[in-house]
Chains A and B, each alone.
Chain A
């Protein structure tokens, strides 16, 4: 390679690994070692109590502390998390939404403590609540209040933290919830428009600064296995966002109209069966968002090959980082102009997506915009997802190793040692830590800071100054959220399951069985205990059960064991289906079983989720009737099992 060629190479994208777990201290060590390995930015995963605004000693936090990310309950923990990481040089992405204002507050408070000016801070708060309502489930407040918090953050950053991306509009999770490429484009752009309109109308940003606000909006996109179509999707996004910024917001500077996006390639498509195949899936998906120079991702994070099995270890994450490095640094990818310019195939597919997405976007805007139309959008996504599940089950969609070429030689990978397990003692440690924190601060100052926060929330003042002050005074994540819960109320999102159909011949046969049961159709309760809000699986089970002739009581997300037991008892259900994806099944399931016993419920319990093999047996041992993992994609079989269980249960009564 000559120097001339080298000098024309494009700069590589920001390389990240989505990580964080156990404690602030453990995560800090992980980040520092990742940075030493050549990672160029941080991507912080928070645990579910932090994401949903509970302290570790809250009953709902039980079993969830430190599981899917790092617990950050106060400024001391943020300090530990960022120890020896130079904030003025770091580009930090935080996957945080309902409590985004609080975590940004902690980050800013920390920077000020380190003597770093807020104008030097670079990074992103995800802060996209629409996709939480539609897919990811860590929302807290109702739509209007949530939108207001987002607007406040954008306005604050525009003045005080100008290099920060205050919101990262996510199409990623829409694809996971079943969105087609057209839906993905349309719904996320509708979301961005809703937010920008609200910022403009809030009067908090002077018109001269508004183009810069438009320029600060970034996106977080999913890249699936149909990577040629994904290339076109990215080109369609880029074209449409440029046009919208120009026509709707009159942004003249083309740089500020640039569709800036980061990518996490698809985790939904990663398989538990023959997990080594996920490596090639990840590579192809990475190509989808890097091949086209004009629509290339600004930052990329690749999941680990074993994500469908459990929590990845540092080595698994390193492997994914190395994939990026080979792609960016060894290949000639970055030496060329856009290799698709002039390709009529790519261009015609792109314009097809653009046209369809504009139509869908118009439709959403007519429904009143993304926030107003959440119920309708949720229904459409559940319908799309049901269709996808049907295609996999009927083998219309080939998934190698899952519904085709299932035979495999024995794998040297896998087994129980092939992923990370979080020590349950972390929870005890965190509870002790917060006790300690609360007793070492000035309660008077905290009370005053929280009172100021309440007044800001109740009035029209920007929420950020009071939030930063509360962080400095020593308030906790649970306390900050509690004040806002009190002022704004709590929201229950739409489930979207009422209208989805998606019948299959297999399910029809199960329905015939259900209808022949002498004591009436099976009654099944579907619920998600704990804080995990990824409800797509639970929703699909509810829809499939309905199509299998069952009467479904859907209890939704974030329900306590007592709640599940009381519902099961009052509804006299035959079967209870629980979905848990956060890895907290060993803690949560026994609590639910105890509660059921206390309430006199003897209906069998089935579990679905990311459950490692050893844990499956442990769950069966404590009394669970069946355990299903992503390997069990044949929903017809699951439904037949349910009818078997119902017959067995009723025969004993």
Chain B
């Protein structure tokens, strides 16, 4: 087998022909960003919009990977293909990361009907990597019908994943109460489906009641999030979870919410791209001779920071 080329469009065509390494390399290009990623984005944009994305989020150790693995088994039993993006935080100090718990996904590794890719957040706050929407788009354009995005959720992250996925599944464990006390309201807002994993542990029923009450108080919109009890390591409850995902999907389609969500998502992506581009632009402008001159003037007191900033922005817009 020859090594795939680095031209994104050629790689895309190779991947479309079933070349697995080309697919993996496309994901790498997307992660690296830059011109090749942009070209790929342009090429895949019109080809996407067919896949359905499911976000799975929860605290470390809640059993997301086992649950994803169990869910993948259900999807595969229906002879449908599935890809998984497992996203883990990069260390803010070293940039390093321990990626996706592949140890829990081992049953699927040699199954060509599943593609699993681990990604690090690479400095992006909020639990998703900058490349996530783009990676989803590429998988979508390549014809993967189901895309699961797995993220470690703590606080704000759940909100981000809700923006990136069509259906958001929030995983908690029995006795969740104290751990997420402060964020319960936030979870209520993002969860389309609740999963109580490790439900054979004591406190599962209390947790269920607890969530039920919170949901009754918040009553958000016309979809009532179901609460699914699972024991992911024993494949218990995964069927039911998949049924709920399908129900939620039908609900989104019938109510028109899907189009609405996706419109919001692409809007958010646009803002993100603009803000990232502006960041880069600022970096460039700050290194220009004019900027250095302004800085030294500011130091000697000839000009105040507000004035200096205005002139720099004018310079950037030119």
Q: Which residues of A contact B (CB under 8 A)?
A: 142, 375, 489, 492, 495, 497-498, 503, 507-508, 511, 514-515, 519-521, 542-543, 545-556, 559, 562-563, 566-567, 569-572, 598-602, 653
Take A497-B98, A549-B94, A600-B3 as given contacts and tell me if A570 and B20 are in contact as well, using a CB distance cutoff of 8 Å: yes
Take A555-B102, A562-B110, A601-B21 as given contacts and tell me if A571 and B94 are in contact as well, using a CB distance cutoff of 8 Å: no
A-B contact pairs, 17 of them (CB 8 A): A498-B60, A498-B98, A514-B95, A515-B94, A543-B98, A546-B94, A546-B97, A547-B91, A548-B94, A549-B96, A552-B98, A553-B100, A553-B118, A555-B106, A572-B21, A599-B20, A600-B1
Question: Which A-chain residue is minimally distant from B111 (CB atoms)?
Answer: A566
Whether A570 contacts B95 by the Cβ 8 Å rule is: no
Whether B96 contacts A545 by the Cβ 8 Å rule is: yes
Tell me the smallest distance from the CB of B146 to a CB of chain A, in Å.
17
Whether A547 contacts B32 by the Cβ 8 Å rule is: no
Secondary structure call for the A interface: mixed
Whether A566 contacts B95 by the Cβ 8 Å rule is: no
Whether A546 contacts B110 by the Cβ 8 Å rule is: no
Q: Counting chain A CB atoms within 10 Å of each CB, which of B6, B20, B28, B109 scores highest? A: B109
Tell me the smallest distance from the CB of B175 to a CB of chain A, in Å.
11
Whether B106 contacts A492 by the Cβ 8 Å rule is: yes
Tell me the smallest distance from the CB of A594 to a CB of chain B, in Å.
13
Q: Counting chain A CB atoms within 10 Å of each CB, which of B2, B25, B115, B118 scores highest? A: B118
Question: Which A-chain residue is minimally distant from B104 (CB atoms)?
Answer: A492
Q: Across the interface, which residues of B come within 8 angstroms of A498, CB to CB?
A: 60, 98
Question: Which A-chain residue is minimally distant from B27 (CB atoms)?
Answer: A572
**Top 5 closest pairs, chain A to chain B, by CB:** A600-B1, A511-B94, A572-B24, A546-B96, A556-B103
Complex Cα–Cα for A111 and B151 (A)? 56
Whether B32 contacts A599 by the Cβ 8 Å rule is: no
Whether B96 contacts A550 by the Cβ 8 Å rule is: yes
Fill in one digit per residue for B86-128: 1 if any A CB lies within 8 Å of its CB, else 0. 0000110111111111111010011000011110101000000
Whether B96 contacts A514 by the Cβ 8 Å rule is: yes
Whether A567 contacts B96 by the Cβ 8 Å rule is: no
Q: Across the interface, which residues of A come within 8 angstroms of B6, CB to CB?
A: 653
Q: Is B250 an interface residue (CB 8 A)?
A: no
Q: Across the interface, which residues of A come within 8 angstroms of B91, CB to CB?
A: 546-547, 549
Question: Which B-chain residue is minimally distant from A491 (CB atoms)?
Answer: B233
Tell me the smallest distance from the CB of A522 to a CB of chain B, in Å.
9
Q: Across the interface, which residues of A come within 8 angstroms of B122, CB to CB?
A: 520-521
Contact of A563 among B23, B110, B233 (CB under 8 A): B110
Complex Cα–Cα for A235 and B94 (A)? 43
Secondary structure call for the B interface: mixed
Q: A554-B98, A555-B102 are in contact. List 13 more A-B contacts (CB 8 A).
A: A498-B60, A546-B94, A547-B91, A547-B94, A548-B96, A549-B94, A551-B96, A552-B96, A553-B99, A554-B101, A555-B103, A572-B25, A653-B6
Question: Which B-chain residue is minimally distant from A376 (CB atoms)?
Answer: B61
Chain B 2-33 residues near chain A, CB threshold 8 A: 2-3, 6, 20-21, 23-25, 27-28, 31-32
Contact of A551 among B21, B97, B102, B234 (CB under 8 A): B97
Whether A572 contacts B102 by the Cβ 8 Å rule is: no
Whether B31 contacts A570 by the Cβ 8 Å rule is: no
Whether A571 contacts B96 by the Cβ 8 Å rule is: no
Q: Across the interface, which residues of B come within 8 angstroms of A375, CB to CB?
A: 61
Take A508-B94, A511-B96, A553-B118 as given contacts and tell me if A563 and B106 are in contact as well, using a CB distance cutoff of 8 Å: yes
Q: Across the interface, which residues of B come within 8 angstroms of A519, CB to CB?
A: 28, 32
Whether A571 contacts B3 by the Cβ 8 Å rule is: no
Q: Across the interface, which residues of B come within 8 angstroms of A546, CB to CB?
A: 91, 94, 96-98
Tell me the smallest distance from the CB of B118 to a CB of chain A, in Å.
6
Chain B 180-229 residues near chain A, CB threshold 8 A: none
Whether A503 contacts B93 by the Cβ 8 Å rule is: yes
Complex Cα–Cα for A498 and B23 (A)? 27
Q: Across the interface, which residues of B come within 8 angstroms of A602, CB to CB?
A: 3
Whether B233 contacts A571 by the Cβ 8 Å rule is: no
Q: Give the size range of B's interface with the partner.
A: 35 or more
Complex Cα–Cα for A567 and B99 (A)? 12
Contact of B24 among A142, A556, A570 (CB under 8 A): A570
Contact of A599 among B21, B28, B233 (CB under 8 A): B21
Q: Across the interface, which residues of B come within 8 angstroms of A571, CB to CB?
A: 24, 99, 117-118
Complex Cα–Cα for A521 and B32 (A)? 9
Whether A503 contacts B94 by the Cβ 8 Å rule is: yes
Whether B32 contacts A554 by the Cβ 8 Å rule is: no
Q: Across the interface, which residues of B come within 8 angstroms of A599, CB to CB?
A: 1, 20-21
Q: Across the interface, which residues of A come within 8 angstroms of B106, CB to CB?
A: 492, 555-556, 559, 563
Q: Counting chain A CB atoms within 10 Å of each CB, which of B98, B116, B234 scores highest? A: B98
Contact of B28 among A514, A556, A572, A600 (CB under 8 A): A572
Q: Across the interface, which residues of B come within 8 angstroms of A548, CB to CB?
A: 94, 96
Q: Counting chain B CB atoms within 10 Å of each CB, which of A489, A552, A562, A601 scores highest? A: A552
Chain B 29-70 residues near chain A, CB threshold 8 A: 31-32, 60-61
Q: Across the interface, which residues of A come within 8 angstroms of B1, CB to CB?
A: 598-600
Complex Cα–Cα for A545 and B95 (A)? 11
Whether A520 contacts B31 by the Cβ 8 Å rule is: yes
Whether B115 contacts A521 by the Cβ 8 Å rule is: no
Complex Cα–Cα for A105 and B119 (A)? 48
Whether B115 contacts A570 by the Cβ 8 Å rule is: yes
Chain B 267-294 residues near chain A, CB threshold 8 A: none
Question: Which A-chain residue is minimally distant from B3 (CB atoms)?
Answer: A602
Q: Across the interface, which residues of A come within 8 angstroms of B61, CB to CB?
A: 375
Q: Across the interface, which residues of A come within 8 angstroms of B93, CB to CB?
A: 503, 511
Q: Across the interface, which residues of B come within 8 angstroms of A553, CB to CB?
A: 99-100, 102, 118
Take A551-B99, A552-B98, A563-B110 as given contacts and tell me if A570 and B117 are in contact as well, using a CB distance cutoff of 8 Å: yes
Whether B98 contacts A542 by the Cβ 8 Å rule is: yes
Whether A569 contacts B20 by the Cβ 8 Å rule is: yes
Complex Cα–Cα for A571 and B234 (A)? 27
Tell me the smallest distance from the CB of A277 to a CB of chain B, in Å.
35
Whether B120 contacts A551 by the Cβ 8 Å rule is: yes
Whether A554 contacts B103 by the Cβ 8 Å rule is: yes
Whether B115 contacts A142 by the Cβ 8 Å rule is: no
Whether B24 contacts A569 by the Cβ 8 Å rule is: yes
Tell me the smallest distance from the CB of A650 to a CB of chain B, in Å.
10
Question: Which B-chain residue is minimally distant from A522 (CB atoms)?
Answer: B96
Question: Which A-chain residue is minimally distant from B5 (CB atoms)?
Answer: A653
Question: Which B-chain residue is minimally distant from A565 (CB atoms)?
Answer: B110
Complex Cα–Cα for A378 and B120 (A)? 23
Q: Across the interface, which residues of B come within 8 angstroms of A495, CB to CB?
A: 101, 103
Complex Cα–Cα for A542 and B27 (A)? 22
Whether B99 contacts A552 by the Cβ 8 Å rule is: yes
Complex Cα–Cα for A569 and B115 (A)? 10
Contact of B95 among A515, A559, A598, A600 (CB under 8 A): A515
Q: Across the interface, which residues of B come within 8 angstroms of A550, CB to CB?
A: 96
Question: Which B-chain residue is minimally distant from A557 (CB atoms)?
Answer: B103
Whether B97 contacts A552 by the Cβ 8 Å rule is: yes
Question: Which B-chain residue is minimally distant from A520 (CB atoms)?
Answer: B32
